[in-house]
């Protein structure tokens, strides 16, 4: 009998999920999974992830191919680069920022000067980065069904309150010309993060993110996180962190941040 337990490596686990094992090895992994509920849960999650990819993105296969991809022979650069230089650079920058920054506490020593103080990465900066990323990811989707009409604002606030188990009323920025368009709950590093999206008549978009913090702190000054064209003003007030993100003029952004802050402190309990 050679029924001795076989060491299962991390690579074996993934190769099992991806169907890349020999049948013999596969059986060994299956036996290990049967004996180890935690491993079984992990493998099951990995399978689920692969399924979710297909559920989410396979629909692209059935979309009609846009004309610009079908007609490459025609003046190929006529449309070109309209989006990439601005938006893609932005998205890519943020991707890099997230990849490098989160969890490593990294910051940019060469950016240190008397004028520009880099602040050591910490959890509130993580929030600023998350807010900037969420801004970029969802900025183009404001017109999707997640959007709420004015008349549905009440329903939406109710929905958010139910999700979070507490009353949430987003500040109104109408005096600055921004209407609340929608919002969603996102998983943040520190727990759920509520994101509210606003838009003005010109189509400019700003987002407000509110997240709960593990450790309470006194109210802080505004800080600015700049990521390419996206500015994020963020601050901490007690157990909550706030971030206002947008690609518009910083002065306007700062005014909006002040407006948000004022509305929050005016009515804060206690």
Partner 1 sequence: MDIRNDLMEHVPRLRRYARALLTNRELADDLVQDTLERALSRSRTFESGTDLRAWLFTIMHNVFVNQVRKASARAVHVSVDDEAFGETQLAASGGQLHSLEVRDLDYALQRLPAEQREVVLLVGLEEMSYAEVANALSVPIGTVMSRLSRGRERLRSLMAGAQPGAKLKVVR
* Residue numbers 130-189 binding partner 1 by CB under 8 A: 130, 132-134, 137-138, 140, 163-171, 184-189
Residues 201-230 that bind partner 1 (CB under 8 A): 210-215, 217-218, 220-228
Q: What's the CA gap between 46 and 41, in Å, rounded?
A: 9
Q: What's the CA gap between 91 and 85, in Å, rounded?
A: 10
Which of these segments, 21-29, 68-76, 173-181, 197-205, binds partner 1 (CB under 8 A)? 68-76
Inter-residue contact 225 to 252 (CB < 8 Å): no
Inter-residue contact 245 to 135 (CB < 8 Å): yes
CB 3 → partner 1: shortest distance, Å? 28
Residues 3-42 that bind partner 1 (CB under 8 A): 10-11, 14-15, 18, 20, 42
Which residue lies nearer to partner 1 by CB, 1 or 12? 12
Using N-to-C axis directions, what is the helix angle for 23-35 and 37-57, rounded to 10°?
Answer: 120
Does 43 engage in binding with partner 1 (CB under 8 A)?
no
Which of these segments, 30-38, 90-98, 147-155, 198-206, binds partner 1 (CB under 8 A)? 90-98
Three-state DSSP state, 156:
helix
CB 202 → partner 1: shortest distance, Å? 19
Three-state DSSP state, 80:
coil
Which of these segments, 28-36, 101-109, 147-155, 173-181, binds partner 1 (CB under 8 A)? 101-109
CB 123 → partner 1: shortest distance, Å? 5
Site size toward partner 1 (CB under 8 A) is 115
Q: What's the CA gap between 110 and 125, in Å, rounded?
A: 18
The tokens of 226 are what? 């700049």
Select the residue interacting with partner 1 from 152, 191, 249, 258 (CB under 8 A): 191
Tell me the C-alpha to C-alpha distance, in Å, between residue 22 and each of 26, 30, 47. Answer: 6, 12, 18
């Amino acid at each position: 009998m050679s029924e001795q337990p076989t060491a299962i490596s991390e690579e074996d686990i993934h190769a099992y999920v991806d169907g890349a094992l020999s049948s013999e090895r596969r059986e060994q992994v299956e036996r290990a999974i049967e004996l180890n509920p935690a491993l079984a849960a992990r493998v099951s999650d990995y399978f689920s992830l692969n399924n979710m990819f297909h559920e989410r993105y396979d629909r692209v296969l059935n979309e009609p191919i846009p004309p610009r991809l079908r007609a490459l022979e025609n003046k190929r650069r006529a449309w070109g680069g309209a989006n990439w230089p601005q938006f893609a650079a932005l998205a890519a920058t943020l991707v890099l920022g997230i990849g490098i920054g989160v969890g490593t506490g990294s910051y940019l020593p060469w950016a240190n000067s008397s004028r520009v103080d880099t602040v050591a990465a910490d959890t509130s900066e993580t929030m600023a980065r998350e807010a900037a990323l969420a801004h970029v990811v969802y900025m183009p989707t404001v017109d999707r069904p997640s959007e709420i009409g004015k008349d549905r604002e009440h329903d939406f606030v109710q929905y958010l309150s139910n999700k979070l188990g507490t009353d949430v009323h987003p500040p109104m920025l109408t005096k600055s010309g921004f209407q609340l368009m929608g919002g969603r709950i996102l998983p943040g590093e520190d727990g759920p993060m509520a994101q509210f999206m606003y838009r003005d008549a010109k189509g400019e978009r700003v987002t407000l993110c509110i997240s709960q913090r593990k450790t309470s702190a006194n109210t802080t000054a505004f800080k600015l996180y700049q990521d390419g064209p996206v500015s994020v003003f963020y601050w901490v007030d007690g157990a909550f962190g706030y971030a206002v993100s947008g690609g518009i003029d910083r002065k306007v952004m700062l005014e909006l941040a002040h407006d948000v802050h004022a509305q929050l402190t005016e009515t804060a309990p206690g």
